[in-house]
């Protein structure tokens, strides 16, 4: 007991000592890794006979060069930011939530279901109700994995992988059945205008909704929970050493369940934004893999709720600009995947180096 108490005291001291500069350090590390990854990617372009400068200019133009490209980057960044934030929050509790795709689909089901109903109520009621249902379904999908982990000791990776497939195939069934817009369609009924997220600006065919502010607000909320509340200290203590935390009265099971509930709710809200702010309908495979890319965003953002913002922006920019590379610069768009892989490899090497200290 004494040894465990000393371990926990050491963990708490480390956590509290690191809080002061944690945000600045995490953002600095993320930006440094991004710079290295882009630099190496451009070097590969040069060694392959292409022009690194032209490739960089094309990347910048493809992501930010026009109002349409900028809108596309922001629209793609929002779900990446929320799925990355979701993974980061769970990871702080020592959980590897790779179920973001399933939780995204669960939230989208809730948004499409409630959003397509003609409730005859004010948008001020309909839209928050749609958000609530999407968040609850996402939370339930994450909470199942957290509960099984806490009560049965089954690893969350196994749980979340299985739950991913269930949610994805559930959408496949629902858009052909109960939520279908018609017998010959494979999409849900349209979300009614009262449940549309307000648009900040529109560059047809893309509109940027207020979902971007909702996503940034959730980042700030998670930062406050993790670094400014006693529960945040408990959560990070469990993430450092769950067994030692148990000996001083911190219930790791409770932390696991709450962390996965919050993580799932965040990703469910990402599904809500996609359905009510982007597509306005639900269809099979509506996500190009945002839930899985969120893992890379969280790793690149050092599992910090603020540092995931630049990480998500990079991935959103690369997703928007990749087609421009091949069309304008003659560079295979696979270079985008290479840049992402280099960034993740750099994170892994940095983590391995830190663990040896």
> Taking the domains of the chain in order of start, what are their residue ranges?
2-355
Are 131 and 275 in contact, with CB atoms under 8 Å apart? no
pLDDT at 201 over 60: yes
pLDDT at 13 over 60: no
Confidence band for 18, pLDDT divided at 50, 70 and 90: low
- The structure tokens listed for 325 are 């590379």
**Cα–Cα distance list, 137 to 104, 205, 324 (Å):** 9, 29, 37
């769950």: which residue's tokens? Answer: 242
More confident: 226 or 48: 226
Helix H or strand E segment including 200: strand 199-203
- Phi, psi at residue 207, to the nearest 5°? -125, 135
More confident: 342 or 313: 313
CATH number of the domain at 2-355, out of 1.10.10, 2.130.10, 3.40.50, 1.10.3470? 1.10.3470
Average pLDDT, the chain: 89
Predicted local distance difference test score (pLDDT) of residue 209: 96
pLDDT at 10 over 60: no
Confidence band for 9, pLDDT divided at 50, 70 and 90: low
Are 300 and 347 in contact, with CB atoms under 8 Å apart? yes
In this predicted model, what pLDDT tens digit does every residue of 235-246 receive, in sequence order? 999 999 898 889
Are 97 and 143 in contact, with CB atoms under 8 Å apart? no
Least confident of 18-22, 196-200, 236-240, 289-293: 18-22
More confident: 32 or 254: 254
């Amino acid at each position: 007991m004494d040894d465990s108490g000393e371990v926990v005291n050491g963990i708490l001291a480390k956590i509290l000592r690191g809080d002061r500069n944690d945000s600045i350090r995490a953002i600095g590390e993320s930006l440094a890794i991004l710079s290295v990854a882009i630099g190496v990617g451009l070097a590969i372009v040069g060694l392959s006979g292409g022009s690194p400068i032209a490739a960089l200019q094309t990347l910048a133009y493809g992501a930010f060069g026009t109002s349409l490209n900028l809108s596309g980057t922001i629209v793609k960044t929002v779900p990446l930011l929320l799925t990355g934030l979701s993974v980061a929050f769970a990871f702080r509790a020592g959980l590897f939530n790779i179920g973001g795709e399933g939780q995204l689909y669960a939230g989208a089901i809730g948004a499409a279901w409630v959003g397509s109903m003609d409730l005859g109520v004010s948008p001020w009621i309909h839209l928050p109700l749609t958000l609530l249902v999407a968040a609850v379904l996402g939370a339930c999908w994450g909470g199942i994995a957290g509960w099984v982990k806490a009560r049965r000791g089954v690893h969350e990776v196994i749980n979340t992988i299985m739950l991913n497939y269930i949610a994805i195939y559930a959408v496949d069934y629902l858009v052909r059945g109960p939520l279908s817009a018609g017998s010959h369609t494979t999409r849900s009924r349209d979300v009614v205008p009262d449940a549309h997220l307000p648009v900040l600006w529109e560059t047809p065919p893309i509109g940027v909704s207020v979902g971007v502010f909702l996503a940034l607000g959730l980042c700030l909320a998670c930062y406050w929970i993790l670094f400014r509340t006693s529960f945040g200290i408990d959560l990070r203590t469990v993430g450092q050493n769950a067994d030692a935390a148990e000996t001083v009265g911190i219930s790791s099971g409770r932390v696991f369940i709450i962390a996965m509930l919050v993580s799932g709710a965040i990703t469910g809200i990402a599904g809500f934004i996609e359905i009510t702010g982007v597509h306005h309908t639900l269809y099979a495979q509506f996500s190009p893999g945002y839930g899985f890319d969120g893992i890379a965003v969280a790793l690149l953002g050092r599992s910090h709720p603020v540092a995931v913002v630049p990480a998500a922006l990079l991935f959103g920019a690369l997703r928007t600009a990749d087609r421009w590379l091949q069309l304008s610069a003659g560079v295979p768009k696979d270079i985008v995947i290479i840049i992402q892989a280099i960034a993740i490899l750099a994170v892994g090497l940095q983590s391995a180096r830190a663990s040896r200290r």
